[in-house]
Amino acid sequence: MSENRGDAEERGDSVDAKFWSHRQSKAPNPPDKAGREGKAGAGSADANRYRMDYPSIGTCVIINNKNFYKSTGMKIREGTNADAEAVERTFRGLGYKIRREDDRTVGEMEELLRTVSQEDHGGSASFVCVLLSHGGEGTFYGTDGFTELETLTGMFRGDRCKTLVAKPKLFFIQACRGTCLDDGIQTDSSSDKSSDRIPVEADFLYAHSTAPGYYSWRNEGTGSWFMQALCEMLNEHSSKLELMQIMTRVNHKVARDFESFTLDPGSNKKKQMPSTTTTLTKDFYFP
C-alpha cells in the first residue's frame, strides 16, 4: 500500500497528461538518444568534483503551471502548489536564490528562461530549474499550449550560456511523457586541464518524474510522487551524498513507496519509475 494512501483516498491521484487512456500499452521501446565519507570542503581541489567555492551556489527557477486555457483541453493540476512550496523550501535551504513563476504561457516561459540564461552566472556554482506542468514525450505545457522541452533546456547549452560553461545545470521535470500505465510486478525480495574545449551539451542533468512513454502521477492533496520524494531525499541526504546517489534514492522511494489509488479500476494500483539522463562530467556535492 502506498504511504500516501490516506491522502489519496481523500483527494485522489491524477496524471499530468491531456489524454487519458485505459489501454494497457506495452512499455515503449527505449529511445535512440541517449559512498562518500564526510562532506567535501567548499574549496575542494578534487578534479573529479565540481567546484563549489563560488560566492553563490546559484539560482533555482521554478515554473509552476496549475491552470490552463480552455483551448488546450488540459485539466487543473491540483496539488502542484504543494510541490512548488516544497521545492522552494528545499532549494532555499540548500542556499539557492529562488525565482518562482506561476501559470506562465509558452511565450512567457521561453522569455523567462532566455532572460535567465543571458544573466551573469559567473559567481554561481550551479543552476537549477524545476518544471511543473502537463507534458508529453519531449514536450512541456505552458498555460496556452506546449513547447518542445529541448527549447527550454537548450537555452543553457554551453554555446548559449557562457557563464555556466563547465558548471552543473540541473533540471527536475514533473510532467507526463506518454500514455502508458505501469502495472508493476511482484519481486522476490523486500578543474580539468585536459582540454580547453568541452561539448556544448556537457554538464546537464535531466531528472524526469517518469520513464519515457509513461504517465506521471500527482496526488491532489500532497503533490506529485516525484517532487515530494525528491525534496525528502535532498533534505535527508544533501549533506553527505553525491547527487546521483540521492537520485537513486529518489528512484527507490517512488518505485517502492507509491501506488495509485483511484476509483477507476483502469488506473488503480499503478506504479511509476522516475528517469534521469545526465551529461554531468564530475561528481556533484552540495556545499
Q: Which residues of 115-134 are buried (b: 16+ CB within 10 A; e: fewer)?
A: ebbeeebeebbbbbbbbbbb
Specify the CATH architecture of the domain 56-181+199-279: 3-Layer(aba) Sandwich (3.40)
> Is the pLDDT at 8 greater than 70, yes or no?
no
Active-site residue, from 60, 121, 134, 208: 134
> CA separation (Å) from 244 to 209, 277, 285?
15, 10, 9
Confidence of residue 187 (pLDDT cuts 50, 70, 90): low
Is 134 catalytic? The answer is yes
Average pLDDT of span 117-129: 98
Average pLDDT of span 235-262: 96
The reply to whether the predicted model has a pTM over 0.95 is: no
* Local structure of residue 182 (DSSP, 8 states): B
Active-site residue, from 60, 129, 176, 180: 176
Average pLDDT of span 51-59: 98
Task: Kindly report the average pLDDT of the chain as a whole number.
Answer: 88
DSSP string, 30-60: PPS-----S---TT---TTB----SSEEEEE
Contacts of 45 (CB under 8 A, 6+ apart): 191
The predicted pLDDT at position 162 comes to 97
